[in-house]
Amino acid sequence: MLDTITTAAAAAPDYAAIKQRQQATWASGDYAVVGTTLQLVGERLCEAVDLRAGERVLDVAAGNGNATLAAARHFAQVTSTDYVGRLLDLGKARAAAEHLTVTFKEADAEALPFADGSFDVVLSTFGVMFTPDQAKAAAEMTRVVRKGGRIGLANWTPEGFIGQLFKIIGKHVAPPAGVKSPALWGTEARLGELFPGHKVTAAKQIFHFRYKSPEHWLDVFRTYYGPTHRAFAALDTAGQGALQADLLELLNRLNRGGKDTLIVPSEYLEAVVTRK
């Protein structure tokens, strides 16, 4: 019995260490270069949760603020949070440029510094799905939203383009042991596990990545997108060449833009969780 407990304890992921590495990953490159292209998803998510003017909204793992800005444009009272201060600064600059009133606060999605039931709506677009302790992050989002409030999520699916991108990166650079794939957030089954007892409605959506060419996409993501940036940095020259070849094969296979441009459809799950 004691051996079993010891083995289980030894096998438990070191979430603090994993989180520290993830924070460094998202702080590397410049996610905003990619993030701003995803603005449409934030707008769609505000419609999905039927956002009303004056509602108290929390954006979790907000990045450079796509859902934040969308909600603020709907005259909500928005608090934007992320654990990478640099990304919050970029969101703050965007809000200032549009003369939008938003509160920005550095915060960990797994330990939100807000009282129970503080918000009417909680949002996250391609953000909370990357937390290492998925159950804890989901519990925190549930805790800070009021009864009857809504949690709006946009998460990449395992089968979609970004889900396949994660798999390729994982083939070349091993993911942290014991941590579930972020793409599981893009499945209704996993959301049911993460938000037990609450109403979950979900629909698959498509976001199109539009770039000049597969090589252009690769250059942007290799330079600015944290996970891809760090994956290339972790490999030697031969490993980088192999990763590049796999990514270009994926891009060319999914490209529906023809020879002169790149248009890659990427599936994501748009979900609304209503707290009981």
Q: Could you report the per-residue pLDDT of 101-146, keeping only the tens digit for each? A: 999 999 999 999 999 999 999 999 999 999 999 999 999 999 999 9
Question: pLDDT of 132-184, one tens digit each?
Answer: 999 999 999 999 999 999 999 999 999 999 999 999 999 999 888 888 999 99
Mean of all residue pLDDT scores within the chain: 93
Is the pLDDT reported for residue 15 higher than 80?
yes
Task: Give residue 147's region: left, alpha or beta (phi > 0; psi -120 to 50).
Answer: beta
Inter-residue contact 195 to 139 (CB < 8 Å)? no
Question: pLDDT of 213-226, one tens digit each?
Answer: 999 999 999 999 99
What is the model's pTM?
Answer: 0.92
CA distance 138 to 203: 19
Is the pLDDT reported for residue 7 higher than 90?
no
| Percent of the chain surpassing pLDDT 90 | 86
Inter-residue contact 220 to 34 (CB < 8 Å)? yes
The larger pLDDT score, comparing residue 270 to residue 10, is at 270
Inter-residue contact 92 to 8 (CB < 8 Å)? no
Question: pLDDT of 28-58, one tens digit each?
Answer: 778 889 999 999 999 999 999 999 999 999 9
Q: What's residue 6's pLDDT? A: 39
Is the pLDDT reported for residue 11 higher than 70?
no
CA distance 168 to 177: 17
Please give the radius of gyration of the chain, using alpha carbons only, rounded to the nearest integer.
19
CA distance 32 to 193: 31
Q: What's residue 271's pLDDT? A: 98
CA distance 50 to 153: 13
Continuous segment of H or E residues that includes residue 216: helix 214-224
> Could you tell me whether strands 77-82 and 102-106 are parallel, antiparallel, or unpaired per DSSP bridges?
parallel
Question: pLDDT of 243-256, one tens digit each?
Answer: 999 999 999 999 99
CA distance 70 to 40: 9
Q: Where are the domains of the chain?
A: 2-156+177-206+269-274
- The domain made up of 2-156+177-206+269-274 is a member of CATH 3.40.50.150: yes
Count the alpha carbons within 13 Å of 121 in the hemisphere toward its beta carbon: 30
